[in-house]
């Protein structure tokens, strides 16, 4: 099987040695993605906007790899505060309402204080 590395162009990928996504056969594994605006590299204050940005980066990585959001079979959501769930839940519902991947939500510390949400997904090509 062919292994393909997908980059979002983030400087962090090369600095710390990871890929935005790794495709192995019919599977795509998308790294934890935070909500920095991919163009400006600015982090919005809103947890909902951070989630939207993260999901946009995830969608672009999947698209580049030949996958669709509908191919997502697992999602993991990391929040720095449980209170963000109420803000981010509707955004997740907009994207995943019909897809309904197996999902887990966790409260965790993230590496930068401005980060409120991080999302990682796994997709299987249909």
Task: Answer yes or no: CATH 3.40.50.970 is held by domain 3-124.
Answer: no
pLDDT tens, residue by residue, 2-41 = 899 999 888 878 899 999 999 999 999 999 999 999 889 8
Q: To 10 degrees, the CA torsion angle through 21, 119, 42, 97?
A: 110
Burial of 57 (0-12, 13-18, 19+ CB in 10 A): buried
High-pLDDT (> 90) share of the chain, %: 87
For the question of whether the overall pTM of this predicted structure is more than 0.85, the answer is yes
Phi-psi region of 74 (alpha: psi -120 to 50; beta: other; left: phi over 0): beta
Q: In what order do the strands lie in the sheet with 27-34?
A: 3-6, 21-24, 27-34, 117-124, 72-79, 102-107
Q: What is the rounded distance in angstroms from the CA atom of residue 86 to the CA atom of residue 11?
A: 31
Question: Would you tell me how many other CB atoms lie within 10 Å of the CB of residue 92?
Answer: 19
pLDDT tens, residue by residue, 38-95 = 889 899 999 999 999 999 999 999 999 999 999 999 999 999 999 999 999 999 999 9
Residue-range domain boundaries for the chain: 3-124
């Amino acid at each position: 099987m062919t292994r393909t590395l997908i980059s979002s162009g983030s400087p962090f990928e090369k600095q710390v040695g990871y890929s935005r996504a790794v495709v192995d056969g019919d599977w795509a594994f998308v790294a934890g993605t935070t909500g920095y605006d991919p163009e400006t590299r600015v982090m919005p204050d809103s947890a909902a906007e951070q989630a939207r940005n993260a999901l946009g980066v995830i969608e672009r990585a999947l698209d580049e790899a030949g996958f669709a959001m509908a191919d997502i079979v697992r999602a993991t959501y990391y929040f720095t505060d449980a209170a963000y769930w109420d803000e981010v839940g509707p955004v997740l519902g907009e994207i995943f309402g019909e897809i309904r991947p197996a999902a887990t939500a966790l409260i965790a510390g993230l590496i930068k204080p401005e980060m409120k949400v991080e999302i990682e997904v796994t997709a299987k090509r249909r």
